[in-house]
Amino acid sequence: MEENLIVIDDDEIALKILQRMINIINPSISLMTFVSGLEAIRHLKSKKHKKPPFILVDFHLKDVNEWEILEELESLPEYHSKVFIISSSVNSELPFQSRRFKSVAGFIQKPITFETLKSINQKISEN
């Protein structure tokens, strides 16, 4: 089954909580999670998606710099995913700096709420 939501976050506890929240909101979402940004990049590069997945990516990963995932993914000609950047810190430069990436669909402030996930679920359903 092809995933329609990918979550990349090196905080394993936050990732488990997020998985449970997503499962409560919509158990039919095909979810894949990664604690490694490099592993997520390898996975996305190796797979051609019929429908591009939505991606939630923590902005501060241990194994890649802040923009590396977006740069890698946007270098692929078939890449059309919508990416939501997750951040635990308020950074007023983040939206401005992210404009160079066409895939960035929005920003999510931690802690992630059910309302935020319901909004993303709606966007996945519309896709």
Mean pLDDT by 10 residues, the chain (127 residues): 85 94 94 93 78 86 85 76 84 76 88 94 87
In a domain, 25, yes or no: yes
DSSP label at residue 97: H
In a domain, 61, yes or no: no
In a domain, 120, yes or no: no
78: domain range? Answer: 1-48+67-89+100-112
Instruction: Supply the pTM of this predicted model.
Output: 0.89
| Model pLDDT, residue 90 | 65
Between the alpha carbon of residue 126 and those of residues 54, 61, 88, 120, 121, the distances in Å are: 12, 29, 28, 10, 9
Between the alpha carbon of residue 122 and those of residues 4, 59, 86, the distances in Å are: 12, 23, 18
Q: Residue 7: which CATH number?
A: 3.40.50.2300
Structural domains counted in the chain: 1
In a domain, 119, yes or no: no
Residue pair 58/15 in contact by the 8 Å Cβ criterion: no
Residue pair 108/85 in contact by the 8 Å Cβ criterion: yes
In a domain, 40, yes or no: yes
Q: What does the alpha-carbon distance between residue 17 and residue 112 come to, in Å, rounded to a whole number?
A: 10
In a domain, 84, yes or no: yes
